[in-house]
Amino acid sequence: MILESRTWDELQPGMSAELRRLCTVDDFYAFAAASGNYNPVHLTERDGDGDGRADATAPGMFVGSLISAVIGNLLPGPGTRYLSQSLDFRMPVHAGDELITHVVVTGKDPDGTATLSTEVKRISDDAVVLAGTARVAAPVEKLRFDDIEVPGLVVQRHRHFDALIERAEALPDLRTAVVCPEEEQSLGGALLSAERHLIVPILIGNPDRIAAAAKAMGRSLDGYEVIATGSDAEAARKAVELVNAGQAHAVMKGHLHTDALLHPMLDKAAGLRIGRRFTHVFVMDVPGVGHPLLVTDAAINIAPDLATKVDIVQNAIELAISLGIAVPKVGVLSAVETVNPAIPSSIDAALLSKMAERGQISGGQVDGPLAMDNAVDLGAARTKGIHSAVAGQAEVLVVPGIDAGNMLAKQLAYISHAEAAGIVLGAKVPVILNSRSDSAKARLASCAVAAIHHFRMGAA
């Protein structure tokens, strides 16, 4: 951006400048973070004025700051100091409104100050939303800046999870066997999901420990079904029995090891197998990414062979379709984007791509091998000469093995501030797999993903 000032000598009454700005919800969150003004009337999912509707009304001073942008950038421009500003707010501004801010020089004083008329209009109906007068100390020397660069901001808002939770709340509550919810995090996640009408939890485990966890949180278990068991293994087996009896339509991990939870599900006679491998998917809401990002398999299959990867891809495609991605774009990751016989994952990726092309994997577009950059960044893909429906636009990332998947998911969570919902597929019902470090949003999203997938597959 090039900025050049108008000095006090250059200013003449009648000079004007203007800027346009489309107001977005992210603008309001960024303003809240910068100013410390958390008034819920300005936040999109909140009903801050009690009228029964979410608001997303622009903060008044955010709209006022648009005037300072014109004054600081254009008229008089760099070097200008504000002395005073009057603000007459005429009507509210909402996310989606496009505004034009207009500044006109109305006078000059010998002391180096200038007076400006300031006005903000809504473009759609030419309505004045803000008017006022500014008094500034104009620059006395000509200033020009050719290399102004301000770092971009990514608002850490998890809009995809908000949408999934809202969608799941409209579905019937999912009867869920919660295995060993014997400490505060696992029990709290189940109860919170019940309060949001995502699940009906059936609490299975040591009743004394479950009650102690509820007491520690100051919560009551009145109205919740508790099934007493003597061990983790017995609790996991009971969950499987409830599913097979049609009394539960999902299983949720509590305070026990994943191996102990899954072991009875894998029993060939009495388990929950349906023909495919059990595979894990992280559904990730990454700030700044315009769609949920699915990472698989990062938790169950350690070093999957080609046959297992076929199930990993197919399960992920079906989940992505449930989440609203009509034809999922699946990027099969490797260290390189060309087949290298010395890198087995690149060969598997090419085979999976060809299998999808021949209909052995269905419902999505599969391409590989792709390196991480050209899987998710269109510019990187084009730079390397990769042209496909998937390259640079992948919605599902298939990793070579559990170590790469686990690292990728945790990098997204801890460096890119993503939230992750965890779910196991390939069983008769979805298995909700949360980590002890998961946030309340991640636990709600995991239950929402399970409910959405269950009811779509049940209706299919």
Q: Is the dihedral of CA 376, 382, 385, 387 positive or negative?
A: positive
The whole-number pLDDT of residue 52 equals 58
By the 10 Å C-beta count (0-12 exposed, 13-18 middle, 19+ buried), 296 is classed as buried
- 274-324, pLDDT tens digit by residue? 989 999 999 999 988 889 999 999 999 999 999 999 999 999 999 999 999
Q: Which two tokens stand for residue 232?
A: 């983790």
pLDDT, averaged across the chain: 92
Residue of 69, 60, 135, 137 whose CA lies nearest to 102 = 69
Q: Strand locations in 310-392, DSSP E?
A: 329-333, 365-370
CA separation for the pair 102, 86 (Å, rounded): 15
Q: Rounded to whole angstroms, what are the CA distances from 142 to 1, 95, 205, 429? A: 17, 37, 75, 70
Task: Output 441 or 331, whichever has higher pLDDT.
Answer: 331
Q: How far apart are CA 163 and CA 44, in angstroms?
A: 12
Mean pLDDT, residues 205-232: 95
DSSP string, 126-158: TEEEEEEEEEEE--SS--EES------------
Q: What is the mean pLDDT of residues 348-360?
A: 97
Going by their DSSP bridges, the two strands 279-285 and 293-296 should be labelled as antiparallel
Q: Is the pLDDT of residue 261 over 90?
A: yes
The letter for the amino acid at 36 is G
CA distances from 20 to 79, 132, 173, 223, 226 (A): 22, 18, 46, 55, 59
pLDDT tens readout for residues 19-54: 999 998 888 888 988 899 988 888 765 555 565 555
| Cα distance between residue 132 and residue 66, in whole Å | 12
Look up residue 86 and give its two tokens: 């009057």
Amino acid at position 97, single letter: D
Residue 151's pLDDT band, with cuts at 50, 70 and 90, is confident
User: Which residue ranges does the chain devote to CATH 3.40.718.10?
Assistant: 159-177+190-198+273-459
Q: What is the mean pLDDT of residues 327-353?
A: 96
Q: For residues 152-170, give the mean pLDDT.
A: 84
190 is written with which tokens? 């189940």
Residue 106 banded pLDDT, cuts 50, 70, 90: very high
Q: Which residues are registered as beta bridge partners of 19?
A: 101
The answer to whether 153 touches 14, Cβ cutoff 8 Å, is no
Q: How far apart are CA 395 and CA 385, in angstroms?
A: 20
- Report whether pLDDT(460) > 60: no
Q: What is the pLDDT of residues 88-103, one digit of tens each?
A: 999 999 988 999 999 9
* 323: nearest Cα among 425, 241, 223: 425
**DSSP state, residue 101:** E
Alpha-carbon span 193 to 179, nearest angstrom? 15
Nearest by Cα to 216 from 188, 240, 254, 244:
188
Q: How many CA atoms lie within 13 A of 230 on its CB side?
A: 0
Rounded to whole angstroms, the Cα distance separating 338 from 82 reads 58
Cβ contact 109:69 at 8 Å = no
pLDDT band per the 50, 70, 90 thresholds, residue 438: confident
159-177+190-198+273-459 — its CATH code? 3.40.718.10
56 alpha-carbon distance from chain centroid: 19
Q: Are 375 and 333 in contact (CB under 8 A)?
A: yes
Alpha carbons 84 and 119: distance in angstroms, whole number: 15
Q: Tell me the two tokens of residue 436.
A: 């002890």
CATH architecture for residues 3-145: Roll (3.10)
pLDDT of residue 290: 83
User: For residue 1, what pLDDT is reported?
Assistant: 72
Which pLDDT tens digit goes with each residue over 167-198?
999 999 999 999 999 999 999 999 999 999 99
Q: What is the pLDDT of residue 156?
A: 66
Percent of the chain's residues with pLDDT above 70? 96
CA dist 404 and 412 (Å) reads 12
